[in-house]
Structure 1
Amino acid sequence: MAIDLAPISLPATADAEQFKDFGREILGVNPGGMSEEQMKEVHDLLHKYSVLLFRDVDVTPEQQYNLTKSFDPSSENHGHGNDFSKTPGRKLFELNAIPGVPQVKLIGNGTVYNHEGLSEAVLKHPSHTTFHKTHVSAEDTAKGITRFQRWHMDAALYDLNPPRVTTLYAKVVPQGPHQTVRYDDGTGDELEVPLAATAFVSGKTMFDILSSENKSVAVRGRVKYSPHPYAWMATAHALSTGLGIVSEGLEMPDDELPLWDEDKIKVYPMTWKNPVTGELHFQVHPCGVRELFVDPLPAVASREGALYPDGAHLTNLMYKMQRPAIAPSLVYPLDWRENDLILFHNRGLLHSVVGELKKDQIRAFHQCNLAASDEPAGPTPEDVRKYA
């Protein structure tokens, strides 16, 4: 018996046509106790729709871990490792492990007491003010103006492989008026969002809307991430859109980074192939990229109008390829309710924390993702011939 689905609720700003195959609400299913048949269907649905939402469900940390692990049964460690205190660059974000299930982390805002075995946890909602080069003024913040904090996928990007799926479970959701994301990049773009929303953009859409010339680059391109990228970027500043680092030379020098092994540095294709649909997703963490490599055109490809037909080694290309996909009409800001659980295809989209919260606005979420047992697959030779 097929699982019942409903469309996700899109904001008025969204281009509904671009979201026709993005996001679904799962109806009448207990995510903590799915049958093997239901789990197989959910697996395929996630890869088809990228985000699955379960409203008003009860899920224990153990059930959340088991659900996440079912997408990759041989995986064991959280995407940044189970002992987060040893993660270089951890000042960019804080994760508190749930006792007994260290792969499930408590994230959010404010001080939480007696929570799942934690007597006290001081949580801090990530804000653009700690990472961006420029900040929204205090006056505008008081009026509800905010920004995307940092567009990313959940991944260590060094040593450990990017998780296949992330699960997020809302235990406490703060209440308050909507805020307005201001891009502050000269475009005038703004987006109204619920308080403390999580924003998503589709990697498939990011690829699909590229020009044919840039699609050719995307299927031929590879990105090399910094060793210990979160330590590397911790001393730098992000752009006002949260989509990459400002070029100021403030990144941590290699000789000051924690000890690293060249073999553990990650080099990934710009586009990752969806294992169920076969479609390509433009999947690059914009803040951690050190170098870009573009392979030469295949011998059978036309060189007329092609970018980098003989290949290239670059350091600055991502922003102009990724910025169109975070336009207000292409962003899905999830309006959380308490006891909502979402699964998102971490290898097929980017997401960002949004908004500003005061200390007394409590937000408590359980997050789980697991470093994958495999590397993401890039485009096939047939894909390269098709788009190059």
Structure 2
Amino acid sequence: MPHSTASRIIIHPITPPEGSTYDIGAELRNADLENISPADAAVIKNALYTHQVILFKDQHSLSPKTQYEVTRLFDPAATGYGHGKTLDAKRSILHPDLKTIPHQPQVQVIGNGHVAEFEGLKDVTLKHPHHKTFHQEAISEEDDRENTRFYRWHIDAALYDLEPPKATSLLAVKVPKTQYQNLRYDDGSGDELRVPRGSTAFVSSYRMFDLLSEEDKEFARTTRVQYAPHPYIWMSPAKSRSDGLGLISSGLELPTSRLPPIDDAKINILPMCWKNPVTGKLALQIHPSAVQKLILKDGVVVDDLAEVREIVHRLQRPGIAPELVYPIDWEEGDFAIFNNRGVLHTVTGSFLPEEVRVFRQCNMAASEGVVGPDDE
């Protein structure tokens, strides 16, 4: 451990390009992640909750064990899996996207293409999620190379039984560098955004809350969200809106009879607004695809799924406007950590089968619940 009581870490907030107004993202320099002092840990934790997405460059030699330990800085009592024990359930929409590292099971491998051997995994084929498998309407094959969509705006969370992780880390191991793509919302707004191909896009849920009218802020502060049991299996036949922000209601969700056994005590009912532990600001933090019901201040339950989705989409859509999106332009060795309780994120882009892309991801179900607007 370093003997100095002061941290050498320097924080450089990300400067948005012309036309963008997002206020998240910071690069942390001079960090030795293999030897984090208490002072370093304090700087890193404060930076995450101030900037929501923090980036460490040139972390090529970072081990899965260290990635796990750094991710645990934000919740030292957390040890389990962020997406729960159904992570590899065959019917879950998450199943094709995640492979678990045998010697560090809290860390998963995601990416694209065939990998002969990596961290104890042998002969695996990774598949970058493509919107054509999830959206109701897809970009045409001939336009697909130049254009892309937000795949699925989400929070990393099981949303059944387990508490949402506090932080997620991503390490870019192998990145095929290619052209930018035109990201289309295709929702009638005409909104578009230029993004690096394969970028992970982030938006601030604090900004999303701040954009609400006073009436909607009061609604958000006093409403609770009930998530579907086994949500990633429940939603598996359903299709997404073209902006990736929630599902289209066509009655395709699986009925209770086709889900694994349900324990009502494990159903997640969470505040619509989550409080930042450092700034105290409120985030409009909803997983739009997994939501099933809304519980209003007076106890009334809104359980018409189409109505629930329309309400949530109306509240969240201003927060994903093009100027508010921070798309990371990944380079090999980039190590990013994001505040999973204060941002939404999504995959973008598409890769050919022969283009190999390898990332490591880590998050753990939290050891404590979400802090709502009225919680201390």
- Amino acid of the residue matched to residue 129 of structure 2? P
For 1:80-119, what aligned pairs fall within 5 Å after superposition? Answer: 80-81=83-84, 84-86=87-89, 89-90=92-93, 93-119=96-122
Q: Deviations over 1:257-295 (max 9, x none)?
A: 111111100000000011111110110000000001220
Q: What's 2:242 paired with?
A: 240
Question: Is the CA contact 1:199–1:352 (under 8 Å) kept in the aligned structure 2?
Answer: yes
Structure 1 residue 77: Cα displacement: 1.0
Q: Decide whether aligned partners of structure 1 residues 357 and 156 sit closer, same or farther in structure 2, where only a CA change above 3 A counts.
A: same
CA shift for structure 1 position 313: 2.7
Q: 1:122 to 1:360 in 2, by over 3 A?
A: same
Aligned match of 1:134: 137
Secondary structure, in 3 states, of the residue corresponding to 1:230?
A: helix
- Counterpart CA distance in 1 for 2:50 and 2:351 is 33
Q: Which residue of 2 aligns with 1:68?
A: 71
Whether contact under 8 Å (2:276, 2:342) holds in the other structure is yes
Aligned residues: 364
Mapped partners of 1:87, 1:283: distance in 2: 28
Q: CA separation in 2, counterparts of 1:115 and 1:148? A: 28
Q: Please, which of 342, 363, 366 is the counterpart of residue 369 of structure 1?
A: 363
Name the counterpart of 2:57.
55
TM-score for both structures, normalised by structure 1:
0.90
Deviation by residue 1:163-213 (Cα, 9 ceiling, x = unmatched) = 000000000011111011100000000000001000000010000111111
Q: Separation in 1 of the partners of 2:71 and 2:52? A: 15
- Tell me if structure 2 keeps the 8 A contact 1:13–1:328: no
Equivalent residues of 2:88, 2:95 under 8 A apart:
no
Contiguous gaps of at least 5 residues in structure 2: 1-5
* Alpha-carbon distance, 1:9 to partner: 4.6
What is the alpha-carbon root mean square deviation over aligned residues? 1.7
Residue 217 of structure 1: CA displacement?
0.5
User: What SS class does the counterpart of residue 43 from structure 1 fall into?
Assistant: helix
Classify the secondary structure of the residue corresponding to 1:263: helix
The residue aligned with 2:3 is none
Checking the alignment, whether the CA contact within 8 Å between 1:82 and 1:103 is kept in structure 2 is no
Q: What SS does structure 2 have at the residue aligned with 1:85?
A: coil
Task: Name which of 289, 299, 313 aligns with 2:302.
Answer: 313
- What percentage of aligned pairs have identical amino acids? 45
Structure 1 residue 87, shift from structure 2 partner: 7.1
* Cα separation, partners in 2 of 1:93 and 1:272, compared to 1, 3 Å: farther
**C-alpha distance in structure 1 between counterparts of 2:233 and 2:330, whole Å:** 31
* Residue 88 of structure 1: how far off its partner (Å): 5.2
Alpha-carbon distance between aligned partners in 2 of 1:216 and 1:32, rounded to the nearest angstrom: 44
The match for 1:24 among 23, 26, 29 is 26
Match of 2:168 in 1: 166
C-alpha contact 2:87 2:95 (8 A) present in aligned 1: no
Tell me, in whole angstroms, the C-alpha distance in 1 between the residues paired with 2:286 and 2:343: 9
Classify the secondary structure of the residue corresponding to 2:362: strand
* 3-state DSSP of counterpart to 2:83: coil
Separation (CA, whole Å) in 2 of partners of 1:92 and 1:166: 18
Q: 1:341 aligns with which of 322, 335, 346?
A: 335
Q: One-letter code of the match for 1:379?
A: P
Q: TM-score, normalised by structure 2?
A: 0.93
Distance 2:236 2:179 in 1: 31
Q: What per-residue deviation string (whole Å, max 9, x for no partner) do you get for residues 3-36 of structure 1?
A: 3111225333411xx41xx211001112232112
